[in-house]
Amino acid sequence: MTSPHGLEGRVAIVTGASRGIGLAVAEALVGAGARVCVTARDPDGAARAAEALGGVGLAGSVADADHLREVTELTLREFGRIDVVVNNAATNEPYGPLMDVDPGSWSDAFAVNVEAPLRLVQHAWRVWMAEHGGAVVNVCTEGAGHVGPHVGAYGTSKAALLHLTRQLAGELAPKVRVNSVSPGLVRTEMARFVWEGAEEVLAAGLPLGRIGEPRDIARAVVWLASDAAEWITGADLLVDGGTRVRTAYASPGYAVHDRLRSQAPPHP
Ligand SMILES: NC(=O)c1ccc[n+]([C@@H]2O[C@H](COP(=O)([O-])OP(=O)(O)OC[C@H]3O[C@@H](n4cnc5c(N)ncnc54)[C@H](OP(=O)(O)O)[C@@H]3O)[C@@H](O)[C@H]2O)c1
């Protein structure tokens, strides 16, 4: 390690890294000196990202337990170690009031957003981290701190991920640090229906004057994964442009919720 923020010689797994926040995280990890294994469901997306990053990639859904085992095995086979796990892949479906939600799709949300992070950490712990140590960063959401229209399944599953983060932090210490980053609204595909066509009004309600970019989140993830955060575990780092403190800054209305109310994709 040549700098306290560097990750030279380290190896990281980043799920959901073909675009958006996951890709930015993988790029930032490589920029800090790490080698990466990236995943996505779309094989072309996973392969493109792996090639661009000089790493390896594996296509598959994090909801598939075998895929997560294969990701761990591939990373160990290719690089010989697993120092960092970033649980980034997620779904924000099903949308809609919870009374209308199909319990099957509710379980799918939990399989992707909660179960998968636990399974991947279990694999990494068993094959490497229990003996050698490491760092886990789970990507949660600022929205898990309150309730919002049409996003009950997402918010509930991410709140569970937040709790899982703290539970694992306690259980895996001192070998492995487990933290989370909770983004506010970020310019990615997942949130396109919220920000597209409404950036001015959204930015006006945010103390820091703009919506987030994937690199804003990536910097926080890399910092938490690095030795610069060596005495931090069980923490959630809000990276939200001041979303949580907005009521001291702007009018009490919340443009993100207005957009979720009016623009949420179709639901039953
Ligand atoms: N954007 C925001 O405003 C925002 C705010 C708060 C939190 N977040 C969180 O940030 C994280 C990244 O979201 P994003 O906004 O960057 O989304 P995004 O742009 O839609 O990217 C999602 C990435 O995950 C992959 N993916 C999706 N489902 C997957 C699955 N089941 N298994 C494996 N890979 C999967 C996608 O590729 P494939 O489609 O090919 O699988 C893609 O690479 C998520 O945890 C999200 O909840 C985002």
User: Distance of CA 190 to CAs 16, 20, 184, Å?
Assistant: 12, 8, 12
What's the CATH class of domain 11-186+213-242? alpha beta
Closest approach atom of ligand 1 to CA 24: 16
CA-nearest of 101, 234, 216, 238 to 156 is 101
Q: What's the mean per-residue pLDDT of the chain?
A: 96
Confidence at residue 71, expressed as pLDDT on a 0 to 100 scale = 98
What per-residue confidence (pLDDT) applies to 253? 83
Q: What is the pLDDT of residues 97-136, one digit of tens each?
A: 999 999 899 999 999 999 999 999 999 999 999 999 999 9
Ligand 1 centre distance from Cα of residue 20 (Å): 7
Measured from the Cα of 89, ligand 1's closest atom is 24
Q: Measured in angstroms, how far is the CA atom of residue 115 from the centroid of ligand 1?
A: 16
Q: Judge if the beta carbon of residue 16 lies within 6 A of ligand 1.
A: yes
- Report how far residue 124's alpha carbon sits from residue 249's, in angstroms, rounded to the nearest whole number: 43
Domain boundaries, the chain: 11-186+213-242
Instruction: Quote the CA–CA distance of 53 and 90 in Å, as a whole number.
Output: 21
Q: Which of 39, 41, 180 best tests ligand 1's pocket when mutated (most atoms within 8 Å of CB)?
A: 41
**Catalytic annotation present for 249:** no
What pLDDT, in 10s, does the model give residues 64-90? 999 999 999 999 999 999 999 999 999
Q: What percent of the chain has pLDDT over 90?
A: 92
Q: Distance (Å, rounded) from C-alpha 62 to C-alpha 115?
A: 9
3-state SS string for the chain: CCCCCCCCCCEEEECCCCCHHHHHHHHHHHHCCCEEEEEECCHHHHHHHHHHHCCEEEECCCCCHHHHHHHHHHHHHHHCCCCEEEECCCCCCCCECHHHCCHHHHHHHHHHHHHHHHHHHHHHHHHHHHHHCEEEEEECCHHHHCCCCCEHHHHHHHHHHHHHHHHHHHHHCCCEEEEEEEECCECCCCCHHHHCCCHHHHHHCCCCCCCECHHHHHHHHHHHHCHHHCCCCCCEEEECCCHHHHHHCCCCCCHHHHHHHHHCCCCC
Rounded to an integer, what distance in angstroms lies between the CA atom of residue 125 and that of residue 98? 35
Does any ligand 1 atom lie closer than 6 A to the CB of residue 55? no
Q: Please, which pLDDT band fits residue 240 given cuts at 50, 70 and 90?
A: very high
Q: What pTM did the predictor assign?
A: 0.97
pLDDT at 250: 78
Nearest to 150 by CA among 260, 62, 35, 25: 260
Residue whose Cα lies nearest atom 2 of ligand 1: it is: 186
What 207-210 contacts at long range (C-beta under 8 Å, 24+ apart), as own/partner pairs, is 207/241, 207/242, 207/245, 207/246, 207/249, 207/250, 208/241, 208/242, 209/241, 210/241
pLDDT the model gives residue 1: 38
153 lines ligand 1 (CB under 6 A): no
